[in-house]
């Protein structure tokens, strides 16, 4: 009889069942809240190979992970990425993994949507902050909205469930959240709004001023949307930090991720692993664990499993995000480094 290993439980009794793994730090966009325009990318030797990523993800599955999300950068620009996704799909097929999904900017979906569905992916998150082509180009710097919209149609045709992620940015897209909610209703997409977080030095002076200017409270956004939409609180959960309502007029869901105004730390069930094998137990803290060294030190997984368990014992109760002009970013690394 095979004895299942003990699940990952952090110091506050939270079961860690959701792991976000970045497969690359590279991206074909340069979104203003995620990357600087002139990013210095990591050398190839520092990046985990597809085989190492498979072994790392499989170790988390063996330790009780039920949801695995692949991120980047942009995960679909990683060369031969479908080899990894098809391989990880075996855990979905066996029932060991409840969900294999990914967060993408949508630029490559027209190419990969059918393959993702065939590999066992059923649901994806696509980052779209505006439906205005010029504003989209300004936010993403290098992106083209038409390419993303084509990808979304391909995803829908392939039978993938789509959730749109939009970062709420004051003075940038705050007037578009209402029409975006209507558009999602027409397309049958759920929508999740996200408060901007103090990550990365965006202005060269610590980032605080830029974040202060960009920050938009989703508490205020919800109050404004409720003037035109009927938002019914929902118990729906996807395993992540979003709190959902159902939009009565469309039947679609609207999620709110509010790390600043109403943090979700008390129920945190996740960790993030970068493409170099560095595990961050909290997005808003600098403490991290090196999983690449034990991964490469032995073909046996014993050292790797122990390194994961040891790191979970250091998971903090919550983050220290605070927005303010007189403060630098809570952590200096860009979102793309941690894994979006």
Q: What is the pLDDT of the chain when averaged over all its residues? A: 88
Tell whether 8 is covered by a domain. Answer: no
* Domain assignment of residue 334, yes or no: yes
Count of beta carbons in the 10 Å neighbourhood of residue 287: 12
Q: Looking at 29-38, 57-66, 92-101, 169-178, which range is the least confident one?
A: 29-38
- Could you list the residue range(s) of the whole structural domain that residue 111 is in? 18-338
**What average pLDDT does the segment 218-241 reach?**
92
Q: Is 9 among the domain residues? A: no
Annotated binding residue 197: yes
Answer yes or no: is 126 within a domain.
yes
Q: What confidence score (pLDDT) does residue 215 get? A: 87
**Kind and range of the H or E element at 104?**
strand 99-104
81 within some domain:
yes
Which residues have CB under 8 Å from 39's CB, separation 6+? 25, 30, 334, 336
- pLDDT higher than threshold 70 for residue 320: no
Rounded percentage of the chain residues whose pLDDT exceeds 90: 70
Residue 34: the pLDDT is: 77
Establish whether 69 is an annotated binding residue.
yes
CB 315 within 8 A of CB 263: no
d(CA 325, CA 332): 15
Three-class secondary structure of residue 65 per DSSP: coil
pTM over 0.95: no
Point out which residues pair with 21 in neighbouring strands. Answer: 70, 273
Domain count, the chain: 1
- Cβ atoms 258, 193 nearer than 8 A: no
Paired strand residues for 191: 164, 254
Give the CATH number for residue 301: 3.20.20.70
Beta-carbon contacts of 257 under 8 Å, excluding residues fewer than 6 positions away, are 192, 193, 194, 195, 218, 240, 241, 242, 264
What six digits make up the tokens of 78? 């990683």
What proportion of the chain, given as a percentage, has pLDDT over 70? 86
184 annotated to a ligand binding site? no
Residue pLDDT, tens place only, 42-75:
898 999 999 999 999 999 999 999 999 999 999 9
DSSP per-residue letters across 77-97: GSTTHHHHHHHHHHHHHHTS-
Query: Is the distance from CB of 69 to CB of 102 less than 8 angstroms?
Result: yes
Q: Is residue 11 part of a domain?
A: no
Tell which phi-psi region holds residue 42, choosing left (phi > 0), alpha (psi between -120 and 50) or beta: beta
pLDDT for the residue numbered 204? 42
CA 304 remoteness from chain centre: 24
Question: Facing residues of 22 across strands?
Answer: 71
Token reading at 217 = 């409270």
Instruction: Please choose, from the candidates 91, 82, 71, 149, the residue with its C-alpha nearest in 3D space to the C-alpha of residue 117.
Output: 82
Compare 169 and 210 and report the one with higher pLDDT.
169
What is the per-residue pLDDT across 260-290, written as a single tens digit (0 to 9) for each?
665 667 788 999 999 999 999 997 788 999 9
Q: Is there a binding annotation on residue 30?
A: no
Q: What integer pLDDT is reported at residue 237 of this predicted model?
A: 85
Q: Out of 28-32, 147-151, 221-225, which region has the weakest mean confidence (pLDDT)?
A: 28-32
Query: What pLDDT shows up at residue 202?
Result: 46
Q: Any binding-site annotation on 265?
A: yes
Residue 36 in marked binding region: no
Three-class SS state of 51:
helix
DSSP-assigned states of every residue in 306-327 = HHHHHHHTT--S-------TT-
Q: Which of 56, 67, 1 is nearest to 23 (CA)?
A: 56
Choose among 4, 148, 134: nearest CA to 63: 4
20 is in an annotated binding site: yes
73 among annotated binding-site residues: yes
The tokens for 160 are 């993938």
Q: Is 314 annotated as a binding residue?
A: no
Q: Read off the pLDDT of residues 109-157 as tens digits, 9 standing for 90 and up.
A: 999 999 999 999 999 999 999 999 999 999 899 899 999 999 999 999 9
- Ligand-binding site membership of 34 (annotated): yes
Q: Is 104 left (phi over 0), alpha (psi -120 to 50) or beta?
A: beta
176 has pLDDT over 90: yes
Q: Is 271 annotated as a binding residue?
A: yes
Half-sphere exposure of 90 (CA within 13 A, CB side): 9
């Amino acid at each position: 009889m095979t004895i299942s290993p003990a699940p990952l439980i952090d110091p506050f009794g939270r079961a860690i069942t959701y792991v976000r793994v970045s497969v690359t730090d590279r991206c074909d966009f340069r979104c203003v809240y995620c990357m600087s325009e002139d990013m210095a990318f990591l050398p190839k030797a520092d990046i985990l190979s597809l085989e190492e990523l498979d072994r790392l993800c499989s170790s988390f599955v063996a330790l009780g992970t039920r949801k695995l999300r692949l991120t980047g950068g942009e995960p679909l620009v990683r060369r031969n990425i479908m080899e990894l996704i098809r391989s990880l799909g075996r855990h979905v097929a066996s029932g060991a993994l409840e969900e294999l999904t990914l967060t993408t900017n949508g630029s490559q979906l027209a190419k990969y949507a059918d393959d993702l569905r065939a590999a066992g992916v059923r649901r994806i998150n696509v980052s779209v902050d505006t439906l205005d082509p010029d504003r989209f180009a300004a936010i993403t710097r290098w992106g083209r909205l038409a390419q993303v919209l084509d990808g979304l149609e391909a995803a829908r045709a392939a039978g993938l469930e789509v959730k749109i992620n939009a970062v709420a940015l004051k003075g940038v897209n705050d007037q578009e959240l209402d029409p975006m909610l209507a558009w999602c209703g027409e397309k049958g997409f759920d929508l999740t709004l996200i408060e901007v977080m103090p990550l990365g030095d965006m202005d060269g002076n610590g980032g605080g001023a830029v974040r202060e200017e960009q920050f938009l409270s989703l508490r205020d956004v919800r109050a404004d949307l409720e003037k035109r939409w009927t938002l019914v609180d929902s118990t729906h959960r996807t395993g992540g930090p979003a709190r959902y309502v159902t939009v009565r007029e469309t039947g679609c869901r609207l999620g709110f991720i509010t790390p600043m105004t109403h943090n979700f730390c008390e129920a945190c069930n996740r960790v993030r692993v970068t493409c170099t094998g560095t595990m961050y137990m909290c997005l808003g803290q600098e403490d991290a664990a090196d999983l690449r060294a034990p991964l490469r030190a032995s073909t046996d997984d014993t050292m790797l499993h122990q390194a994961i368990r040891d790191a979970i014992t250091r998971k903090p109760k919550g983050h220290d995000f605070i927005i303010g002009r007189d403060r630098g970013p809570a952590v200096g690394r860009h979102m793309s480094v941690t894994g979006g």
